[in-house]
């Protein structure tokens, strides 16, 4: 969890969270007072260009030659021709201009960015609000640019909203629930500002977000690591906020699994897409948030009790996910030959999965070398779909073991056309079609096949992919994806997502601000300025 003091050079960054150490992490050590190594990170604008050039050029060269196991990635993923150039990337200025236009102010202070910005359309629905999950990548960019105050104000405002009473019809939500989004209402006559939060009572489908609380804890950890400001996390308000979020997740009940039971629409996939149950995205974020909270919670009476629960859950959750959500060629073979109706604790087919329920596509999709965490596991059900965010977060949080992390990278390389295509990165694969689409999505016209959440390509996922590539020593994979994105995004006015099996067509939606800034800050990472990737690995 704690980073080194080195900030220049990818070789140094890769050692921030040694995978071998993280995979064998003894969670019981978290019961001792965690050592949060904080160093005030200078803005890249404060550093000389020569410092960046010398350190990073050397770091990239060393990283490629030493950290790519067996040199596998270098065979089919050519490097960008501009990788050693440190001139300002032409897309960065355009991206920052878009981000500045999207800033939302509350009583004169910036508190976040709206979800999308488009002069050409008057119909904004909820795209004019500050979404918790959407602001996170923009927040990382602000932190790297030496503008932490925006992030601090966002954290404080969402924490304030957490304390509101949350009701949907006659039902009251849990005290720790974080809003999906909030909006600032300006009264020009009275010259006052007020906040309006959405906890699910206005959302399409009326689903409360599960991921917002996890993203909030993760971002608080990022702010603390970036600025060296421990005081914010140690305030009674932040300590209570974290505990309330965790109380919703760590309470004991009837569930026999350490994973979290969630409804459809509770995460980035915020519409009905058949992810009800135990979706991989939520489990991976849950794991990362637990680890982040361990380093932020005080070891007072309340905090230590919470940490003890976290440690027990981390042990159980990591075992469960690595054992039952993992799929590779050997595991697929085993499932294919499962016996059913096994009773007793010695059963091999513990979830009573019927082999005939395995979809045909997965046999062709699964390479001999490679693997991934499947979308969902529950009684008599395995969702074999690939979900990008969950697998990338699994790598970054070390939920995945070293071997599993490398296997995920192998899978991405082996199935490049299916998972990346002409525009990175498929949010899910494969798309749901025909009669299954009608049943699973409820005939959702927005989630038609190979569009939006149903197999659409989301450039915003590039920052997660790239960070995962660096951590696994496979930067060439990210560089190839970035090269693809650079040819389209600015020309296409920064779409939120692309449609089609290969991601060739612009999705019909507003221009995405959070996509804009993340793309601009990550795309140059191997050609100009490796801003956000260094930061991500230092943070986690």
For 240-249, b/e burial (b = at least 16 CB within 10 A) is bbbbbbbebb
3-state secondary structure 514-529: HHHHHHHHHHHHHCCC
Q: HSE of 158 in the Cβ direction (CA atoms, 13 Å)?
A: 33
Cβ neighbours around 422 below 10 Å, total: 17
Contact (CB, 8 A) for 300 and 242: no
In order along its 540 residues, the chain shows pLDDT tens digits of 444 333 333 233 332 333 334 444 566 666 665 555 555 444 333 333 333 334 333 433 433 333 333 334 333 333 333 333 334 566 777 778 878 888 999 999 999 998 776 655 555 667 788 999 999 988 988 988 889 999 999 999 999 999 877 777 777 787 888 998 899 999 988 889 999 888 878 778 788 899 999 999 999 999 999 899 999 999 999 999 999 999 999 988 898 999 999 999 999 999 999 999 999 999 999 999 999 999 999 999 888 999 999 999 999 999 999 999 999 999 999 999 988 888 888 888 889 899 999 999 999 999 999 999 999 999 999 999 999 999 999 999 999 999 999 999 999 999 999 999 999 999 999 999 999 999 999 999 999 999 999 999 998 898 899 889 989 999 899 989 988 888 888 888 888 899 999 999 988 544 444 444 444 333 333 333 333 444 444 444
Each residue of 124-146: b (16+ CB within 10 Å) or e? eebbbbbbbbbbbbbbbbbbbbe
CA 150 – CA 109 distance, rounded (Å): 8
Q: Could you tell me which residues are beta bridge partners of residue 473?
A: none
In whole angstroms, give the CA distance from residue 206 to residue 218.
25
Give how far the C-alpha of residue 143 lies from the chain's centroid of Cα atoms, to the nearest Å.
17
In angstroms, rounded to a whole number, what is the distance separating the alpha carbons of residues 346 and 312? 23
User: Which element (helix H / strand E) includes 104?
Assistant: strand 103-106
Q: What is the pLDDT of residue 525?
A: 35
d(CA 538, CA 17): 8
Give the HSE-up count for residue 120: Cα atoms under 13 Å, Cβ half-sphere: 5
Tell me what pLDDT residue 84 has. 35
The pair of structure tokens assigned to 49 is 């260009």
Q: Is 414 helix (H, G, I), strand (E, B) or coil?
A: helix
Task: Let me know the angle formed at the C-alpha of 303 by 297 and 308, rounded to the nearest 5 degrees.
Answer: 100
Strand, helix or coil at 360?
coil
The helix/strand/coil state of 36 is coil
User: What's the half-sphere exposure (Cβ side, CA atoms, 13 Å) at 251?
Assistant: 10
For residues 501 and 456, what is the distance between their CA atoms, to the nearest angstrom?
Answer: 8
What pTM was estimated for this model as a whole? 0.82
Report whether 498 contacts 507 (CB < 8 A). Answer: yes
Asked whether 63 and 83 are in contact (CB, 8 A), the reply is no
CB 426 within 8 A of CB 456: yes
Cα dist from 263 to 138, 382, 515, whole Å: 27, 16, 26
User: In this predicted structure, what is the pLDDT of residue 171?
Assistant: 77
Q: For position 167, what pLDDT does the model report? A: 72
Distances (CA, A) of 210 to 25, 161, 441: 26, 15, 20
Beta pairing partners, 194: 185
For tokens 């997965």, the residue is: 362
Produce one character per residue of 459-495: b if its CB has 16 or more CB atoms within 10 Å, e if not: bbbbbbbbbbbbbbbbbbbbbbbbbbbbebbbeeebb
pLDDT at 404: 98
| Among 419, 516, 417, 425, CA closest to 467 | 425
Residue 257 neighbours by CB distance under 10 Å: 17
CA dihedral 72, 395, 269, 206 (to 10 degrees): 180
Predicted local confidence at residue 36, as pLDDT:
56
175 CB burial (10 A radius; 0-12, 13-18, 19+): middle
What's the token pair of residue 228?
A: 């060296």
């Amino acid at each position: 969890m704690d980073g080194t003091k080195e900030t220049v050079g990818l070789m140094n960054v890769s050692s921030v969270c040694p995978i071998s150490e993280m995979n064998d992490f003894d969670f019981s050590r978290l019961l001792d007072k965690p050592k949060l190594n904080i160093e005030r990170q200078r803005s890249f604008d404060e550093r000389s260009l020569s410092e960046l050039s010398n350190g990073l050029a050397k770091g990239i060269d060393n990283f490629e030659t030493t950290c790519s196991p067996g040199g596998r990635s270098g065979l089919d993923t050519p490097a960008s021709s501009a990788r050693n150039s440190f001139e300002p990337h032409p897309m960065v200025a355009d991206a920052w201009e878009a981000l500045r236009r999207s800033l939302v102010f509350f009583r004169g202070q910036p508190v976040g960015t709206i979800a999308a910005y488009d002069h050409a359309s008057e119909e904004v629905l909820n795209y004019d609000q500050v979404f918790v999950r959407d602001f996170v990548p923009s927040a990382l960019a602000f932190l790297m640019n030496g503008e932490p105050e925006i992030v601090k104000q966002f954290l404080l405002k969402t924490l304030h909203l957490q304390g509101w009473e949350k009701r949907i019809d006659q039902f009251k939500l849990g005290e720790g629930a974080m809003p999906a989004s909030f909006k600032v209402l300006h009264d020009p006559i009275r010259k006052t500002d007020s906040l309006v939060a959405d906890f699910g009572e206005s959302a399409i489908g009326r689903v409360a977000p599960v991921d917002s609380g996890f993203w909030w804890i993760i971002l608080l950890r990022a702010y603390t690591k970036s600025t060296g400001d421990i005081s914010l996390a140690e305030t009674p308000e932040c300590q209570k906020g974290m505990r309330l979020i965790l109380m919703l997740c760590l309470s004991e009940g009837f569930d026999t699994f350490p994973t979290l039971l969630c409804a459809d629409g509770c995460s980035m996939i915020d519409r009905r897409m058949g992810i009800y149950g135990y979706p991989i995205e939520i489990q991976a974020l849950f794991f990362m948030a637990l680890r982040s909270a361990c380093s932020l919670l005080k070891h007072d009476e309340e905090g230590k009790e919470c940490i003890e629960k976290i440690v027990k859950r981390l042990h159980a959750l990591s075992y469960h996910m690595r054992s039952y959500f993992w799929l590779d060629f050997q595991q697929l073979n085993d499932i294919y030959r499962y016996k059913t109706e096994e009773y007793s604790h010695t059963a091999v087919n513990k979830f009573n999965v019927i082999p005939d329920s395995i979809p045909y596509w997965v046999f062709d999709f699964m390479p001999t070398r490679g693997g991934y965490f499947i979308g969902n596991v529950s009684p008599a059900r395995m969702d074999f779909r690939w979900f990008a965010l969950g697998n990338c977060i699994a790598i970054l949080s070390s939920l995945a073991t070293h071997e599993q992390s490398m296997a995920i990278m192998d899978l991405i390389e082996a199935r490049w056309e299916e998972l990346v295509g002409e525009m990175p990165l498929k949010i899910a694969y494969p798309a749901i079609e025909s009669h299954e689409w009608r049943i699973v999505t409820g005939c959702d016209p927005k989630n038609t096949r190979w569009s939006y959440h149903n197999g659409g390509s989301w450039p915003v996922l590039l920052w997660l992919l790239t960070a995962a590539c660096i951590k696994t020593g496979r930067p060439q994979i990210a560089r190839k994806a970035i090269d693809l994105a650079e040819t389209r995004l600015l020309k296409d006015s920064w779409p939120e997502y692309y449609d089609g099996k290969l991601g060739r067509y612009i999705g019909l939606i507003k221009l995405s601000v959070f996509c804009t800034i993340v793309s601009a800050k990550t795309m140059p990472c191997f050609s100009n300025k490796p801003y956000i990737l260094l930061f991500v690995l230092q943070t986690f």
